[in-house]
Structure formats: C-alpha cells, structure tokens
Amino acid sequence: MFSNTEGSWLQEAQALDDRHLAEWEQLYEKAMRAKRVRPRMAGFDSYLSELRQIHNTIRAYMQMSLLDGPASPMDRIKERKKALSDRRLDELGL
C-alpha cells in the first residue's frame, strides 16, 4: 500500500485517500512503539525535517511558537473521532 520512497507524491496521495485511514492508523500505532510518529509527506523528507527542527530550536530559544510538521492521516483520524464524540454529546444534550 505505502510507497517506500520518502517524501514521494504517491505516498502523499495515499495519505489523503480516506480508504487507507485504517491502514494509516495501524502504521501510526506501530510507529508509536518505535517513536516515529509522523509519516513522511510529499516534499517533506529527512532533510526538511531536520531544517524544521533547527528552526524550532531557534524559535524555542526566542520563546516563539513552534512550527508543526505536515499534517498526517492520524491528525485527520483524531479530528474525525473528536467530531464523532462531539456529535454524540450533542445528541445526548450535554
């Protein structure tokens, strides 16, 4: 399912396809055990990841807000779960 090329457009297309969200969730859970949380997205390879980390180090020193990496499918899964939870609370009148 997933492209083995880091930062490839194919991997990004698969990450944006809702049909693969369950597989991304499994990948996320596996990555949590390995401490690698965010999947690589198109154009966001290890080089850009390190540059972002340098920027965040400087921003943290200057007491500025940190830059996030690219949004992952897991971010969308969390948003869906929160929306579903909110919808259920609304139905209960809470």
pLDDT at 45: 72
Residue 39, pLDDT above cutoff 60: no
Domain total for the chain? 1
Q: Is 82 domain-assigned?
A: yes
- Could you tell me the pLDDT band of residue 86, with boundaries at 50, 70 and 90? confident
Q: Is 83 domain-assigned?
A: yes
Helix axes 73-92, 21-34, angle to 10 degrees: 110
Domain span at residue 80 reads 9-92
Nearest to 79 by CA among 18, 23, 29, 30: 18
Q: Is 55 domain-assigned?
A: yes
Q: Is 73 domain-assigned?
A: yes
